[in-house]
Amino acid sequence: MTIQWFPGHMAKAKREVTEKLKFVDIVFELVDARLPLSSRNPLLDQILQQKPRLVILNKADLADPEQTQKWQNYFENQGFAALALNALENQGTKKIVAKAKTVLAAKFAKDKARGIKPRAIRAMVIGIPNVGKSTLMNRLVGKKIAQTGNKPGVTKGQQWLRSGSELELLDTPGILWPKFEDAEIGKKLALTGAIKDQLLHLDDIALYGLDFFTRYYPGRIAKRYHLTLADEELPLPELLMLITEKRGFRDDYDRGSELVVVEIRQSKLGPFTLDRYEEAGAFYESRSN
């Protein structure tokens, strides 16, 4: 299955981000804590270059905490400041300004030496769709200004928002890259809701999700759907049909697929991390050393 999604407003946003970089001190790059690598846009490294950056692992409440800590360490070892938080419940957001001040300490000291008066930090908030950018900004500002929605593609334009006296935020639309060279990345993004469901075959995504949980979190499927551990060893299509029947959908395979995908997204099967540090992060870290 090949997934491609690059609406026109995203191409425009890429150009605007490039143009607006000179107006900000730091970039807040949001990633989904459930897939910290796969939810990073590789185009951003080209666009942002040496601009100071804070990587924010949002939705940490939905992710495997052990994996989240490993990924936070990974980003810091790559030279980025990093924070894990849950913007929806406003957990950890108060640490952002302090972390940004640490990143920009050298710049502030240089400005002070030149006689430049202190001012609010100007930050650009950026990330792929549905990582919680608008939710985070609303928490920082303290009221609902940025439009939010539990679906990709809600934010369409750019706007400045003020967060107290210490922070000014520049919102940007979510930017996906034109083509996913790795089909598995597309499936991961689809399973967590970063791509519109209308563009997907939900049965493929459901099967991918079931396969992931049987391999990395054995027993959770059985517990959620009142199955046996032996049932988890069934061929995936049979397992999905069994879940469909158990939920009273008879042979409505499509409805069963939707149920599995939605419940995984809602963490009904428990917190999880699709990007396994041991498989991806350790590999990339070893290559950079």
219 in a labelled binding site = no
**Other Cβ atoms closer than 10 A to 78:** 13
- Give the integer Cα–Cα distance in Å for 58 and 136: 9
Query: What CA–CA distance (Å, rounded) separates 169 from 178?
Result: 26
- 127 annotated as belonging to a binding site for a ligand: no
Annotated binding residue at 182? no
Annotated binding residue 153: no
N-term to C-term CA, the chain: 34
Q: Are 91 and 61 in contact (CB under 8 A)?
A: yes
> Is 286 flagged in the annotation as binding?
no
Q: What is the CA radius of gyration of the chain?
A: 20
The reply to whether 163 sits in an annotated binding site is no
Q: Tell whether 282 is in a known binding site.
A: no
110 annotated to bind ligand: no
Name the residue among 3, 8, 16 with its Cα closest to residue 153. 8
Q: Is 150 annotated as a binding residue?
A: no
Q: Is 135 annotated as a binding residue?
A: yes
DSSP 199: G
Determine whether the annotation assigns residue 58 to a binding site. yes
- Using CA atoms, how far apart are residues 83 and 252, in angstroms rounded to an integer? 42
Which residues belong to the annotated binding site for GTP? 58-61, 130-135, 174
Which residues belong to the annotated binding site? 58-61, 130-135, 174
